[in-house]
Structure 1
Amino acid sequence: MNDKGVFKMAKVSGADIGIDLGTANVLVYVSGKGIVLEEPSVVAIDNKTNEILAVGKEAKRMIGRTPANISAIRPLRDGVISDYNTTEKMLKYFVEKIVEKKGFGKIVMPRIMVCVPTGVTEVEKRAVEDATKQAGAREVYVIEEPIAAAIGAGIEIGEPSGNMIIDIGGGTVDIAVISLGGAVVSDSIKMGGDKFDDAITKYMKKQHNLIIGERTAEKVKMEIGSAFKREEEKFMKVTGRNQITGLPCTVEISSAETLEALDECVEQIVVTTHSVLEKTPPELAADISESGIVMTGGGSLLYGLDKKIEQRTGIKVRIADNPLSCVATGTGAALSSLDVLKTGGSFKSMPSEDK
């Protein structure tokens, strides 16, 4: 990554690749090079020809601004594939973007490790495997998100001690207690950044009669969104369409209002965390009490969410360094720890038939 925080594109040849196939963003990690790609999980499609017009950042700019013949869609919802064909094309686009081509344009196929939320069905897992294979993988491995997040956060998951991880992505919150390379207790809820945005959108409509788009809701969340009362109130002007007059309108909202808007979402995360702790074996619970809880994912950056969980559980909570890239980094690094993960039952492999 350069000094401006922009990921440099890197061409690779046959190297191991880790993919964080997220609801909001796709991050790609390449062994020896780190994170080489970070793009929104958005695809713009021509409805008449079914042709892909744009992928990633370019496609995200089109959300809410496309004519009738173009759709800007998210092919993943709640952490799983909702549109298989579009996901496959998106993955292929990203893989080809970073993998070096040789000879007659044939891709030197890499090994790819891709993450999935805890508790996905075998059908959902198979869809991820197949889409990744079709994107150009020599071998495909699937790993659970909290395991990958823990590895990316620098936790020694192979040790016989309990570590608790809360990964808050765009579509799911994955919570797990990890020991000896596997999840001892885990849970996953369809909650995350997208639900935060939806909650803000509904609040603005109900309290201010203002209809706003998802990009505006996301901006509100990032700038003044709160899960815990701020010492100093923050304010922001929000522009949308008044649902009574139908005309553009601007209102000023406070961080206290976002606290109210997000209360139900935050409460669900706290309750699920408490539930996982209740099911944790006593020895591992003692370890967690000493080492604390680690939070990863973009949702962990919501102001005060760590404080809220710490207040309710009585256990110290810390946000990992580079929380946005922990899952991708851990997913890529996991390929060098297959023996440990296999022992813990944390991944499944699927060799390509085209070797």
Structure 2
Amino acid sequence: MLGTDIGIDLGTASVLVYIKGKGVVLKEPSVVAFDRDTNKIKAIGEEARLMLGRTPGNIVAVRPLRQGVISDYTVTEKMLKYFIQKAVGRQRFRKPRISVCVPSGVTEVEKKAVEDATYQAGAREVAIIEEPIAAAIGAGIDISRPCGNMIVDVGGGTTDIAVISLGGTVVSTSVKIAGDDFDDAIVRYMRKKHNLLIGERTAEDIKIKIGSAYRRPETISMEVRGRNLVTGLPKTITVSSEETEEALRETTSQIVEAVHGVLEKTPPELAADIADRGIVLTGGGCLLYGIEQLIEEKTGITTITSEDPMTAVAVGTGKFVEFLSGRRD
């Protein structure tokens, strides 16, 4: 039996596993819950995400990756091992060949940590691929041609922006502002404006349901429950999408500035290609309403979101394995 080829999108918010010939087989939040007293892992993935902010003192729910980088090595290794086994199953005689994607701005040390954790989790060979390249392959762009393509990958912990031509990155930047920062901005806004303390999960709910980066044609609202900071009692208020736009304005404008910065450094020939072909958005963060219109308005370049932005990086990472094995064969 041949070893399996696996592509892993090791994200700050979620881990996706792609298997050659099967597509994306697993998508789970990158959260691990463990018992502090015994150091035993209680839950991994979705089960652990439900525990965030709701655990007793001895059980901690943590995210082992922060801003696209491993912050807790042993927990990441266990999490990877669990996801690989869950995706592949146990009936295999040969270790899989795995490619993992990392943000474009990571250092050699951070790359090495990802590589080691993947080997420890049971890989035969490990290929490290940069996120924008994986995102471009996953979005269906032929990156081997000599023309410029601009990719903006808004993840959970980092936003990667790159101009790709002839299979490589010409100009790129990675800013540590993404989906998690949208949540933090909402938490801060609710505290400042409404004296209401809300948790990470509630902030994420607000972002998904009514979050806006650009004014909506009609205002929508939702009820939010939290703790009143003045009285210390639970309180429910109604929040509108206009308020979320105000809360997220600073964070979204930093992403737009980063896009602008990459365009400034792009060689003129490739800049002309981008003006023709437009900017492609991938990653779960680009599902925030209006981020497409905001980038388009500020840069004057057509901006489109790829077909399935959540899985683009995982699919691209997996296809990169196929591309490598094809070359080897």
The TM-score bracket by the shorter chain reads: over 0.9
Q: 1:204 to 1:42 in 2, by over 3 A?
A: same
Partners of 2:110 and 2:55 in 1: how far apart?
A: 30
Query: SS at 1:227's partner residue?
Result: coil
1:223 pairs with 2:220: no
Per-residue Cα deviation, 1:253-276 (whole angstroms, up to 9, x for no partner): 110100010001100000000000
Query: SS at 1:288's partner residue?
Result: helix
Shift of 1:108: 2.8
Shift of 1:15: 1.3
Query: SS at 2:212's partner residue?
Result: coil
Contact kept? 2:20, 2:322, Cα under 8 Å: no
Contact kept? 1:43, 1:55, Cα under 8 Å: yes
1:71 pairs with 2:60: yes
2:23 to 30, 34, 39: 34
Query: SS at 2:239's partner residue?
Result: strand
* 1:29-178 map, 5 Å: 29-102=18-91, 108-178=94-164
Shift of 1:13: 6.5
- Normalising by the residue count of structure 1, what TM-score does the alignment of the two structures yield? 0.90
Shift of 1:337: 2.1
Shift of 1:97: 1.2
Contact kept? 2:149, 2:274, Cα under 8 Å: yes
Query: SS at 1:109's partner residue?
Result: coil
Per-residue Cα deviation, 1:207-244 (whole angstroms, up to 9, x for no partner): 00000000000000000000001110011110000011
- Normalising by the residue count of structure 2, what TM-score does the alignment of the two structures yield? 0.97
Count of aligned residue pairs for this structure pair: 328
Shift of 1:100: 3.6
Contact kept? 1:175, 1:276, Cα under 8 Å: yes
Contact kept? 2:12, 2:65, Cα under 8 Å: yes
Partners of 1:239 and 1:111 in 2: how far apart?
A: 46
Gapped regions of structure 1 (runs ≥ 5) = 1-11, 343-355
Partners of 1:85 and 1:113 in 2: how far apart?
A: 20
Moved runs in structure 1, 4+ residues, more than 6 A?
A: 339-342
Partner in structure 2 of residue 7 of structure 1? none
Q: 1:107 to 1:205 in 2, by over 3 A?
A: farther
Contact kept? 1:14, 1:99, Cα under 8 Å: no
Query: SS at 2:15's partner residue?
Result: strand
Contact kept? 1:164, 1:176, Cα under 8 Å: yes
Query: SS at 2:110's partner residue?
Result: helix
1:192 pairs with 2:178: yes
Query: SS at 2:296's partner residue?
Result: helix
Q: Give the share of equivalent positions with the same residue, in percent.
A: 64
1:260 pairs with 2:249: no
Partners of 2:97 and 2:325 in 1: how far apart?
A: 16
Contact kept? 1:182, 1:341, Cα under 8 Å: no
**RMSD of aligned alpha carbons:** 1.5
Per-residue Cα deviation, 1:126-179 (whole angstroms, up to 9, x for no partner): 000000111110000000000000000000000000000000000000000000
1:282 to 243, 261, 268: 268
Shift of 1:336: 2.2
Shift of 1:96: 1.1
2:224 to 207, 223, 238: 238
